[in-house]
A = this chain, B = another copy of it.
Amino acid sequence: MTVSPIVLLTDFGYKDGYAGVLKGVILGVNPHARILDLSHGIPPQDLVRASFLLTSSVSYFPRSSIFLVVVDPGVGTSRKPLLVKAGEYFFIGPDNGVLSAAVKQLGNARIFQLNHPEYFLDSVSFTFHGRDIFAPVAGHLSLGVSPQELGEPCTGMESLDIPRPVKTDQGLDLRILFVDTFGNLILNLTEEQFSQWKRSGCCIHIQGKKRTYKIQTICSSSKVAAPGVVLVIRRRGMLPQLTPQVAF
């Protein structure tokens, strides 16, 4: 039998060992757990970036994968701890909107509030629910404990408020959601909006610190839900300069 992988996505960084501790807790519950790092490099508390990364990655993982998503600025407040089944995947994390785009994309969501402390660590802190609640629940889920045993069905979950493109006299006013390792710019533009843009033949300008860049071509990452158009701009060499590049 194949064990469902547990996929970790956090803003814990790589200096402090917090992500390592999650793995220790999971193994303590399920010694045969299969644990994968999606990323621990989300900027602290950056829900938009985590949401985008999750949404654009989930379909590349095997069905029944368990995504443990801990970007949790509200830890210690009344925000709910959730387990969600959507499509063929499971998601565990705080109810702060970070899960909503991926869940909406997959559809067929069943939402559970984690309120059975017998599946938590014995002592639950106010500051580290990833370790004390979410990781042990992921371990138990991977052992075959059902969502119904781990929590109580509930309806609705928080969703993120991601800025939408604004139509102006000059065209679309876009936001750069973030810049990736390679210098690619991730924009708040949907696939549909992108298709319209291509048809209408208009152009995009990027307002840089020193000058405005006219972008010739953008590309869209095929599997990415809204928002998620990727503008391919690579910093070449050490030049502090952006170079547009044709792609896709």
Contacts and interface: CB of A to CB of B under 8 A. Distances in A.
A65 interface: yes
Contacts of A19: 37, 39
Nearest to A16: B180
A48 interface: no
Contacts of A16: 39, 41, 53, 180-181
Contact of A27 (B15, B31, B62): B62
Interface string A6-48: 0101011111111111011101100110111111111111000
Given A125-B248, A127-B232, A219-B126, A41 B13 contact: yes
Interface string A220-235: 0111000000101001
A11 B180 CA distance: 12
A14 B10 CA distance: 11
Interface residues of A, number: 60
A20 B57 contact: yes
Interface in A166-188: 180-183
Given A12-B181, A15-B39, 16 more contacts: A5-B27, A13-B181, A14-B39, A15-B42, A15-B181, A16-B41, A16-B180, A20-B57, A21-B38, A21-B57, A28-B61, A31-B62, A44-B235, A127-B230, A127-B232, A127-B247
Interface of A: 2, 5, 7, 9, 11-21, 23-25, 27-28, 31-32, 34-45, 53, 56-57, 60-62, 65, 76, 123, 125-127, 131, 180-183, 219, 221-223, 230, 232, 235, 247-248
